[in-house]
């Protein structure tokens, strides 16, 4: 009804597209609404980035997703969430580590207390750069930013375990499980 009342309201179009994607799994209608939202406001970074995530995760159209991520960053060069999502895409999908790292650094600069971005950048540094000192610093910052983020607690516990800090790893796993008692990865890794 909101879209019928105002057919070019970009936020309503995006929100309905997100609902159709995430809840109804009606991907064709979701995509059509994302395209309408971007047509209604071609410079709305949130709409463009949401569509990029849709193209990446649902359509597996990585070329179009990358184009949309780049458009989103151009529309708002300081949106920490979009910067980090694009960094993740470049890291995990494109394997473009240098560009991914540059975007993670921009994301952290844009929002130095975003626990998810700090934790993901720490994972990147651990896995791709093998820079354990910087990774540990970022894990600590991530946990300080959100002490109940089970993903970061569990990833830091794993990091401590692989770097032979077993007592600290156990403490971190216990915190992770307390934060999210049914987190399967943390339960499995702690048991291991």
Give the model's pLDDT for residue 109: 98
Give the model's pLDDT for residue 160: 98
Q: Identify the CA nearest to 82 among candidates 48, 34, 57.
A: 48
pLDDT of the chain along its 192 residues, tens only? 999 999 999 999 999 999 999 999 999 999 999 999 999 999 999 999 999 999 999 999 999 999 999 999 999 999 999 999 999 999 999 999 999 999 999 999 999 999 999 999 999 999 999 999 999 999 999 999 999 999 999 999 999 999 999 999 999 999 999 999 999 999 999 999
Give the model's pLDDT for residue 125: 98
Q: Assign residue 60 a region: left if phi > 0, alpha if psi is -120 to 50, beta otherwise? A: left
Give the model's pLDDT for residue 120: 98
Q: Identify the CA nearest to 36 among candidates 21, 51, 49, 55.
A: 51
């Amino acid at each position: 009804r909101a879209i019928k009342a105002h057919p070019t309201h970009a936020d309503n179009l995006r929100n309905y597209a997100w609902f159709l994607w995430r809840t109804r799994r009606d991907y064709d209608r979701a995509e059509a609404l994302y395209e309408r939202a971007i047509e209604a406001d071609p410079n709305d970074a949130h709409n463009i980035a949401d569509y990029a995530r849709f193209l990446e995760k649902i359509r597996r159209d990585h070329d179009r997703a990358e184009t949309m991520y780049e458009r989103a960053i151009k529309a708002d060069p300081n949106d920490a969430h979009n910067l980090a999502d694009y960094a993740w895409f470049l890291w995990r999908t494109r394997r473009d580590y240098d560009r991914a790292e540059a975007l993670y650094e921009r994301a952290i600069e844009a929002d130095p207390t975003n626990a998810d971005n700090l934790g993901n950048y720490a994972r990147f540094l651990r896995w791709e750069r093998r820079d354990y000192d910087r990774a540990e610093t970022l894990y600590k910052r991530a946990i300080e930013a959100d002490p109940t983020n089970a993903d970061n607690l569990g990833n830091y516990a794993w990091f401590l375990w692989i770097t032979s800090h077993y007592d600290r790893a156990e403490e971190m796993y216990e915190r992770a499980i307390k934060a999210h008692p049914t987190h399967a990865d943390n339960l499995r890794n702690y048991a291991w």
